[in-house]
Amino acid sequence: MTVAVERPEGTGTDAPDPPPRTARRPGRPLVVAAILVLWLLLFAVLRGRHTLSLAAADLTDLHRWFNDVNDSIGADRNSNPLFLYFFNEIRLVIDTLVTFVQELISQPRAGRPVPQIGWLGVVGLTGYVSWAVGNWRVALLAVAGFTFLGLQGLWQESMDTLALTVSAVLVALLLAIPLGVWAGLSDRVHRIVTPFLDFMQTMPTFVYLAPLTLFFLIGPASATIATLIYAAPPAIRITAHAIRSVPTTTVEAADSLGATRRQTLTKVLLPMSARTVVMGVNQTIMAALAMVTVAALIDAPGLGKTVVQALQSLDVGTAFNAGLAIVVMAIVLDRVTTAASARQEAARHAHGHTAAWRRPLLGAGAAVTAVLVYLSHTYVWAAEFPGEGGVGSAISRGADTVTTWAQDHLSGLTNAFRDALTTGLLNPFQTLLTDSPWWLVGAALVALGAVLGGRRAGVTTAVCVGLLVGTGLWSDSMTTLASTVVATVLVMVLGIVLGVWMGRSALVDRLLRPTLDAAQVMPPFVYLVPFLALFGATRFTAIVAAVVYAAPVAVKIVADGVRNVPAATVEAATSAGCTTWQIVTKVQLPMARSALTLATNQGLIYVLSMVVVGGLVGAGALGYDVVAGFSQGQLYGKGLAAGLAIVLLGVMFDRITQAAARRTSA
């Protein structure tokens, strides 16, 4: 018996079957929301269990083992061959270099009450070098800036900072530029060094200090070694990029003319990449200056030590005066190296008569500079900066007066802002992280990493979570994580608002970009001072300072992303009747997703670095653990473990956000 199948009306016998329906996979935002909801539900049930909390004075077996290693190294330092013939020799060479530069410009030498070159000679040399590599405007800025350092009463401290910076930069460039050239010429070397550079630039400045003191002791030598390690990656990366950016047609033309490999390098590649290499030198100098100030925590002399001591005693006036000196030095060094980069480009197009009139002037300037150096070497009045720093005293008193006024008149507003953000956002999120079972937080982080960054990011997150548990500082790590995430959210709010404004308006870009560039020049210590005056020594101070420190880079990345959206697309949306709000939210921001993700990546790294530095002003958690490890011998192991935890957080953030950026742009 056959059964007739009735076909739907209007279809022929030869009509194709409808395509099978496929279930749509839920989007990433929906999966992220589901993970967060499940986390909250389990938190409500399991709150307070398996939190792995550790009291401030308690140590784990790992911390004690680190202490034992430190004690063992200290006992064997003068007998172990590895130290006798390697670490101690490196320390001796660096210490000799630093001592030489200090005795040259900052510290009295044996038999002399003053350095070899006094203030007049240093100012003269600074002006002449700035003019020689830059222009007369930069030379005037350099002379005025260095003179101002003396008027502040901080001449010797400034010269100590300059001596350590110069020493670290010299050694860093001796190593970095050849390695950068090698990485630019060899694909294999480039592939090998890139992960190391990524890792080194992810690590906050604090992290370099503890392990280096283990091998090189506390003092200027360790500070210089830490500084050169931190400052070398930008020079390596930018030099390699400069070599690789030279057009291949130019290199092929040199090869076709019979140039050897050495001739191609010295006559083609290096001259054509000189400007970019000088930009790398600029970034190395800025990184070195930032690190030298932080290295005051391991007894590096200079302005950083003045700032640290003032922050620890809550002396806002002294901290502001020293912080201003750091800013002045940073601006001078940045402008000089930027002008040198511009001159390298101009020299390629210069005419012969320009060099002809410049050479005699440079010779005359060299003669005048030699006279100033001789006077500063011979006479006390030219060696010791005159006066007693009246300008610095006035600046300190003014800062104290402004601080007192702000605390008396603005405390209601600042406290309300602080309490609202702390109570409404920071405390609940920190509670979620620190009061959830550690395995629940770890599972949520791994799941979020896998969803946002992919399988590899999830595996990296799982490894980092496991190692964080192993450090014994899970609770402190979660506290730091909470502050970092909250600060990053605020950074991205500022970054999107100001970045979109800059990206849509050329006038706003011209007005804001110089301020953002100047803000990126300042070392992180400087940001703590004004917010210490406004908010006191609290974790909120570190968060606000971190937001201000990280916002410039996020704003610039977002602005560039919005600006790169094709004008034709924006014009099409405008002609379709879209409002400005619709164009921004439906066109420009969605098309700039990769820039937003990159801005989040950089914001996270900058924020983490600053939140940790905030341990000096009451931020607590991992930053406090690191600082306590330097100041209290029995907590050294805990401080070293805290540094490791900071690295793990940085690696976890970096891997997830970089993978998310790649997936977004794909």
Is residue 664 pLDDT above 70, yes or no?
Answer: no
Distance, CA of 304 to CA of 293 (rounded, Å): 4
Distance, CA of 99 to CA of 634 (rounded, Å): 31
- In this prediction, residues 517-538 reach a mean pLDDT of 75
What local confidence, expressed as pLDDT, does residue 367 receive? Answer: 92
Confidence band of 56 (pLDDT split at 50, 70, 90): confident
pLDDT in tens, 214-236: 788 788 888 888 888 888 888 88
Q: Position of tokens 């959830």?
A: 436
Model pTM score = 0.78
Specify the DSSP class assigned to residue 588. Answer: I
Above pLDDT 90, what percent of the chain? 20
Neighbours of 239 (CB within 10 A): 28
pLDDT in tens, 374-423: 999 898 888 888 877 788 889 989 988 888 888 788 778 888 888 888 88
Q: Which of 14-18, 36-40, 274-278, 287-291 has the highest mean pLDDT?
A: 36-40
Cβ atoms of residues 583 and 570 within 8 Å: yes
Cβ atoms of residues 154 and 389 within 8 Å: yes
Report the SS3 class of residue 52: coil
Q: In this structure, what token pair is assigned to residue 57? A: 């004075």
Distance, CA of 595 to CA of 180 (rounded, Å): 27
Distance, CA of 533 to CA of 524 (rounded, Å): 16
Neighbours of 499 (CB within 10 A): 29
pLDDT in tens, 60-110: 999 999 888 888 887 877 788 888 888 888 888 998 999 899 989 988 877
Q: Measuring CA to CA, how many Å separate 648 from each of 11, 39, 64, 98, 118?
A: 64, 22, 20, 32, 46
What are the b/e assignments for 576-615, b being 16+ CB within 10 Å?
Answer: eebeeeebbeebbbebbebbbbbbbbbbbbbbbbbbbbbb
Query: What average pLDDT is seen over the chain?
Result: 83
Distance, CA of 150 to CA of 493 (rounded, Å): 40
Cβ atoms of residues 94 and 167 within 8 Å: yes
pLDDT in tens, 140-183: 999 999 999 999 999 999 999 999 999 999 999 999 999 988 88
